[in-house]
Amino acid sequence: MIDIRATGARIAAYVWFAITVLNLVDLAFGITGTARLSVLSVSIAVVLLLGCGIAYAVGLRPAIVGDDEGVVIRNPLRDTRAPWPAVRAIEGTHVLAVRFAGPDGAERKTRAWVHQTSPRAQAKAERRAGLHGGRAHLVRGRTPAGYAAERLNDLWDRQRPTGRTAGPAPTGAGTVTWSVPALAALGVPLVALAVLAAVAAVS
């Protein structure tokens, strides 16, 4: 099984969660001041929770997962699931992309949020690789997305030993769905902020 996530983004998300908990405790119990229930204090709490929603969607959700059944690309708001028979190509340059057959048989393409690399960063990595000897030439020009694509292609090859065929998927089809938890994590605080703004405007 392959499970690829952005370590830095996950750490940042957990740091934000910790900061939010400390601030909510302070707002509730007045550790650094006087605890007061007001529109302002509730608004601060909601903004902190909105930050948690962003941290969850951007820091914790994104992943590239491959197993015996297929590949799953989890982006901040949407999930793409493609069983191996539906996969048409897995490419990795500056971003990992999966082409697959959808439910209607048409080819679709999804790009992973994880392991995106700018062209400038790629050029810099190639220059660095050129300065070192040893095995540097083996990884020159390979981005993290490229390495992820290699691993997924190896897994795909093991699941389809007879080779890849063109045309509609013989069994199964890829799907793209919205993430309800991610939408709720962002939408609920935004609605709450809108309500608080309306309350503040009429008070």
- Confidence category of residue 134, pLDDT binned at 50, 70, 90: very low
Tell me the average pLDDT across 128-135: 52
- Confidence category of residue 143, pLDDT binned at 50, 70, 90: confident
Residue that has been written with the tokens 């190509």 in this structure: 89
Look up residue 191 and give its two tokens.
Answer: 């609605």
- For the stretch 8-65, pLDDT in tens is 999 999 999 999 999 999 999 988 878 788 889 999 999 999 999 999 999 999 999 9
- For the stretch 91-122, pLDDT in tens is 998 899 999 999 998 999 999 999 887 666 66
As a whole-number percent, the residues of the chain with pLDDT over 70 amount to 82
Tell me the average pLDDT across 161-171: 49
What is residue 141's predicted lDDT score, i.e. its pLDDT? 55
